[in-house]
Amino acid sequence: MSYSISAVAEATGLSTHTLRYYERAGLMLTPVERGSSTHREYSEADIAWVIFLTRLRSTSMPIARVREYVELVRAGAATTPDRLELLARHRITVQAQLEEMTQALEAIDYKIALYQKEVAK
């Protein structure tokens, strides 16, 4: 079973523009298949990868670093330790972001509480 680019766009929340851009940018594990036509045919595995990709992006991994990671994957099993390290490093930044965001949420909630008290008067 394969999926059109618009189906994948719908499924992932990315635009078709962005999907093509990611492919051009070398972020796919392999170029997407074309079947008999010139149209892209995404496999389930492609979609799973795009979704993981968006996880990396949503935690602000720069596209260049995603590409590094992709290149390691393409280079085969020997790069597992490098991939591990890349992800472990990224994990640290995600943790930091989570903490920053939690702090920010507290600050916002504090102000909200003040304003609610004020409005309730």
| Number of residues that make up the chain | 121
Choosing among its own copies, DNA, none, which partner's interface includes residue 73 (Cβ < 5 to 8 Å by kind)?
none
Beta carbons of 16 and 9 less than 8 angstroms apart:
yes
92 binds its own copies (CB under 8 A): no
Choosing among DNA, its own copies, none, which partner's interface includes residue 93 (Cβ < 5 to 8 Å by kind)?
none
Q: CA-CA distance, 73 to 41, in Å (whole number)?
A: 21
Q: CA-CA distance, 117 to 62, in Å (whole number)?
A: 42
Binding mask 26-65 for DNA (x = CB under 7 A): ----------xxxxx----------------x----xxx-
